[in-house]
């Protein structure tokens, strides 16, 4: 009887189940934390407890990032690169939601009913090619100003048009829109109520 020795430590013979499980776990963890954070931010104006809940979820997300860093270090370089890209995208989304929350929270909104409807509309119409760096609700939500960046110029009027179809923004007046292309090829845009001339179409942010 002859015996054949097989080296199970060869890369092609190693099981991939643990790697796939780790990848799935990382994805689920990122999605769950960001989803919970987003839902909490939408109702942040209801009471002070929501603010505390948002802070607690942020702490959980930070702890989760540390665990994910350890998982990424144990993965093959190619697979780690894919997960790192997904993680960076989720971090950017989290930062975007936090900016919206901080900007609105710091203003005297003049609306006792809150603005969860507007926040939900912003979340529904979010585009991966566009991000907001500033957002303001003026005169109780009757006037809208914002600023941000987009990968393509066409995304800006499309985004505004979809927002205007949202019931929460149906009666709102959007500021005059200005667009400027940066050296990197991206476009920066802003909507204000004090500009007299727009560089991208009509008044009130309407193309």
Given this model, what pLDDT does residue 63 score?
A: 72
Cβ neighbour number for residue 129 with a 10 Å cutoff: 14
Helix-, strand-, coil-residue percentages of the chain, each rounded to 5:
50, 15, 35
Given this model, what pLDDT does residue 53 score?
A: 67
Given this model, what pLDDT does residue 89 score?
A: 77
Give the predicted TM-score (pTM) of the model: 0.42
- Mapped onto helix, strand or coil, the DSSP state of residue 119 is helix
CATH 3.30.1360 fits 116-192, yes or no: yes
Given this model, what pLDDT does residue 27 score?
A: 57
* Mean pLDDT for back-to-back runs of 10 residues, the chain (207 residues): 49 48 54 54 52 70 72 72 76 72 56 63 82 80 84 89 86 86 88 53 40
For the chain, the structural domain boundaries read 17-105, 116-192
pLDDT digits (tens, 9 = 90+) for 153-197: 899 989 888 888 888 888 888 888 888 988 888 899 998 876 433
Given this model, what pLDDT does residue 176 score?
A: 87
Cβ neighbour number for residue 191 with a 10 Å cutoff: 24
């Amino acid at each position: 009887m002859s015996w054949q020795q097989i080296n199970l430590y060869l890369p092609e013979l190693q099981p991939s189940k643990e790697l796939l499980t780790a990848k799935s776990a990382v994805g689920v963890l990122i999605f769950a934390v960001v989803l919970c954070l987003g839902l909490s931010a939408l109702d942040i104006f209801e009471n002070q407890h929501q603010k505390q809940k948002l802070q607690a979820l942020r702490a959980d997300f930070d702890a989760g990032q540390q665990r994910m860093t350890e998982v990424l270090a144990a993965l093959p370089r190619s697979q780690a690169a894919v997960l790192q890209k997904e993680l960076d995208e989720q971090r950017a989304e989290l930062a975007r939601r936090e900016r919206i929350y901080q900007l609105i929270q710091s203003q005297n909104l003049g609306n006792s009913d809150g603005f969860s409807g507007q926040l939900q509309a912003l979340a529904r119409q979010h585009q991966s090619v566009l991000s907001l760096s500033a957002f303001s609700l003026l005169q109780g939500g009757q006037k809208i100003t914002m600023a941000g960046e987009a990968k393509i110029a066409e995304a800006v009027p499309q985004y505004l048009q979809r927002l205007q179809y949202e019931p929460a923004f149906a009666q709102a007046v959007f500021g005059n829109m200005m667009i400027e292309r940066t050296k990197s090829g991206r476009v920066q845009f802003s909507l204000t109520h004090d500009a007299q001339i727009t560089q991208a179409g009509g008044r009130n942010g309407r193309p």
